[in-house]
Amino acid sequence: MPTPPPYAPDERPLRPDDAPHLIALSAEAGWNQTVADWAFLIDHGAGWGLWEGETPIASAMIL
């Protein structure tokens, strides 16, 4: 049986109050999304995020 990784980030659906935190992903990747853009995507689509505490480290969106 494989050994599980010693660390796994938290995975959960994105919520409207996540929008301000997701700006860090935009900045790191050089994207142009604003808080309003993230809020729109979350409100009109489905999104999931990987989190290290309060810090998002990855996201996926479906519109």
pLDDT digits (tens, 9 = 90+) for 1-40: 777 667 789 999 999 999 999 999 999 999 999 999 999 9
pLDDT at 23: 94
pLDDT at 39: 96
User: What is the arithmetic mean of pLDDT over 38-58?
Assistant: 95
pLDDT at 7: 79
pLDDT at 3: 72
Residue 51, number of CB atoms within 10 A of its CB? 17
The region, left, alpha or beta by phi > 0 then psi within -120 to 50, assigned to residue 60 is: beta
